[in-house]
Amino acid sequence: MKILVSADMEGATGVTWPADVLPGTPQWERCRTMFTSDVNAAVLGFFDGGADEVLINEAHWTMRNLLLERLDERAEMITGRHKSLSMVEGVQHGDVDGIAFVGYHTGAGTEGVLAHTYLANSITGVWLNGVRASEGMLNAHVVAEYGVPVILVTGDDLTCEDALQYAPEARKVAVKDHVSRYAAVCRTPTRTAADIRAAAKDATALAVRYEPVRGGPFTVELEFDAEHLAAAATVVPGVTACGERRVTCTSETMYEAIRAFKAVTTIVSAAVEEQYG
Ligand SMILES: [Zn+2]
């Protein structure tokens, strides 16, 4: 049995502030050890539950935050950027039985610690077939095309609530409780590691691959905080304007949808100015 761990940082233990997740800052250096602790706890729990292989895919920012040297030696990790499936890279080879979303967070324009969808601020909302979507929801639809169940979700309490929509069966661990976008009631890494390890062990029983889901077509609608960003996004083939600061794109598969989404975020990032956005 092989488990994939998609590891994002905003939902990690102790993390509540932009500098906590910004590579290169002293706060990030401190928080990456707590992020590593969360991920390693999941790894240990999956092996406790009977997994033979655990592959971690770094999914935050430059995708080089986790401390490889502190992980259980049975685990392997994909580090670095530019991967065809981005946050869920590794799921496409037909050998993954279950996936964990560790350190996830709520979507742009909603409540939650460090809530956003891909871009920190420029995207103010994302909708998938008319339903407001977080990264967790988008990625859950991607992995469904490979027949891989989401078996564990960790993050703040609102992330766990959000996951009820896209992975009702998955085990969930709230490592902190939301107070504001930049504040939370945090539990210590020792405690959250114990909680994550226990939940991952239980979640291993849910790692049963199913028939790949063909649920298309998928319409992704994005809203930006400035009009010029919507205009920039329409450079991507298939992406059209739909209302003020909004664009839409319809794809037959989630694979195509997430890749179009990635193209949009890349183009839009290049159009954001430091002061005015
Ligand atoms: Zn994220």
pLDDT tens digits, one per residue of 42-56: 999 999 999 999 999
Mean pLDDT score, 177-195: 98
| CA nearest neighbour of 8 among 100, 123, 124, 138 | 100
Domain map of the chain by residue range?
2-106+135-206, 218-271
Predicted local confidence at residue 169, as pLDDT:
98
- Residue 121 CA to ligand 1 centre (angstroms): 12
Q: How confident is the model at residue 275 (pLDDT cuts 50, 70, 90)?
A: confident
- Residue 219 CA to ligand 1 centre (angstroms): 21
- Residue 209 CA to ligand 1 centre (angstroms): 25
- Residue 165 CA to ligand 1 centre (angstroms): 17
- Residue 10 CA to ligand 1 centre (angstroms): 6
- Residue 222 CA to ligand 1 centre (angstroms): 16
- Residue 215 CA to ligand 1 centre (angstroms): 24
Predicted local confidence at residue 213, as pLDDT:
95
pLDDT at 274 over 90: no
Q: Enter the pTM of the model.
A: 0.97
Whole-number Å distance between alpha carbons of 163 and 157:
10
Whole-number Å distance between alpha carbons of 224 and 184:
26
Predicted local confidence at residue 114, as pLDDT:
98
- Residue 159 CA to ligand 1 centre (angstroms): 11
- Residue 63 CA to ligand 1 centre (angstroms): 11
Cβ atoms of 151 and 49 within 8 Å: the answer is no
* Cα–Cα separations (whole angstroms), residue 137 to 4, 101, 107, 244: 17, 11, 9, 24
Structure tokens given for 102: 């560790």
Structure tokens given for 198: 């226990």
Phi, psi of 200 (to 5 degrees): -65, -40
- Residue 104 CA to ligand 1 centre (angstroms): 6
Q: How confident is the model at residue 41 (pLDDT cuts 50, 70, 90)?
A: very high
- Residue 89 CA to ligand 1 centre (angstroms): 14
- Residue 80 CA to ligand 1 centre (angstroms): 15
pLDDT at 219 over 90: yes
- Helix then strand then coil, in percent of the chain rounded to 5, is 35, 25, 40
Q: What is the 3-state secondary structure (H, E, C) of 141-186?
A: HHHHCCCCCEEEEEEEHHHHHHHHHHCCCCEEEEEEEEEECCEEEE
- Residue 60 CA to ligand 1 centre (angstroms): 6
Please name the residue that has the structure tokens 């992704």: 220
Mean pLDDT score, 256-262: 96
Taking the mean position of all CA atoms in its chain, how far away is CA 120? 13
User: What is the percent of the chain where pLDDT is above 90?
Assistant: 97
Mean pLDDT score, 167-195: 98
Q: How confident is the model at residue 174 (pLDDT cuts 50, 70, 90)?
A: very high
Mean confidence (pLDDT) of the chain: 97
Whole-number Å distance between alpha carbons of 142 and 92:
10
Please name the residue that has the structure tokens 């499936």: 85
pLDDT tens digits, one per residue of 76-128: 999 999 999 999 999 999 999 999 999 999 999 999 999 999 999 999 999 99
Superfamily of domain 218-271: Dipeptide transport protein (3.30.1360.130)
Fold designation for 2-106+135-206: Rossmann fold (3.40.50)
Cβ atoms of 142 and 258 within 8 Å: the answer is yes
Whole-number Å distance between alpha carbons of 16 and 179:
10
Whole-number Å distance between alpha carbons of 197 and 206:
15
Whole-number Å distance between alpha carbons of 4 and 256:
21
Q: How confident is the model at residue 276 (pLDDT cuts 50, 70, 90)?
A: confident
Compute the CA torsion angle 46, 50, 52, 57 (nearest 10 deg).
-10
Which neighbouring-strand residues pair with 171?
152
Which strand (E) or helix (H) includes residue 31?
Answer: helix 26-48
| CA nearest neighbour of 264 among 231, 219, 227 | 231
pLDDT at 208 over 90: yes
